[in-house]
Structure 1
């Protein structure tokens, strides 16, 4: 099992341990024997959850969106969320993508077996398909999940690098088929503008200088007014506050 607890290596542990014990003379010799090593997604019980030790991922992500409902996916539930900030940068680097590019998008996807019986879902995988719109020039599809027993889940990360960017919401799109031994479902991944905007770092001085150049409806205006409770209490003042703000703005 990989040290970060997210990935499982399909390799014979006894053979790997003995091999590494013999090959300690140099860094290059340690790499021998790892050719073709396959990293499979980790499968856990849904009671254990997938966020253990990943507080940053919970902070650096969007809300979950249901992509495939279990009643339509043969018991397979698929949900996804966009990764942001340091978590997105880390995952992008791990997949060989450029985290500094605004066209780079990382999506965390969770597969869960929610079959009504005790059956196992097998060969859960994503397959890219063609479509219209701005398609990605590079797609890093996660490894296939061999088996998901009842109430088990597995988290993977999908990497996308789009050919170009657009100021139209949802113009960038990648299409996939989610397949298992129970059937196939089609999904579209359309990153909203909010997920591809890059942060703009400005000092307070530079921000104030830019604000001073604004004119018309974009001009910064400061207005002050007093709140008189007239014995009505704070509750009445808060209730009347929006009206007074609109009056000052107009």
Structure 2
């Protein structure tokens, strides 16, 4: 892949993330104890123009997948509390803007962290998922725990999971037991968390941007040192799927 192969909207999103300090480069200690040369803080998509950009990118990713996979369709975007809530609402609106006939009736739903015991009450807010095809939308997938909790909620509400979408796929193998203990990687060949969730659920797990996208975007911007460090990191921690 060359940088010119990236869709224009991905190139724009990478440039915007850079200029807004959402995508940064340096030395970052991750929860897995790995030392990463880059970091993406999706919580900083918090201004109007940035919200518009990330919601449009989620919508474009879903729409493009649907165009190339005609059987892929859905009725509800489920945004797990808390970060998934604004993503679900804004992405639903952007989808309708891409194709009103196809996506105009897509609803959004989110859960409360605490069940409400007055007024309308209950755990859920927004569109009912009962009997509906549901896509989970969230910012990142680390160990997959939050996604599995979201799937449990969908099941409890009578919905059917048909897809998952996140902002970033770091394309890294899952942490080894030695890494979890802070003892470093054991060098074994392992798949990614996203790959594992894909195998468990049997549904597409999409990402707005992958590490490969970021590498190619930075190469197109002439950021050779950042590209070199990311490629070195990928050689050590890159996933097999």
When the two structures are superposed, what TM-score results if normalisation uses the length of structure 1? 0.24
- Length-normalised TM-score, structure 2: 0.24
**Looking at CA atoms only, which structure, 1 or 2, has the larger radius of gyration?**
1
Question: RCO higher in 1 or 2 (8 Å CA, sep ≥ 6)?
Answer: 2
More helix by share: 2
More strand by share: 1
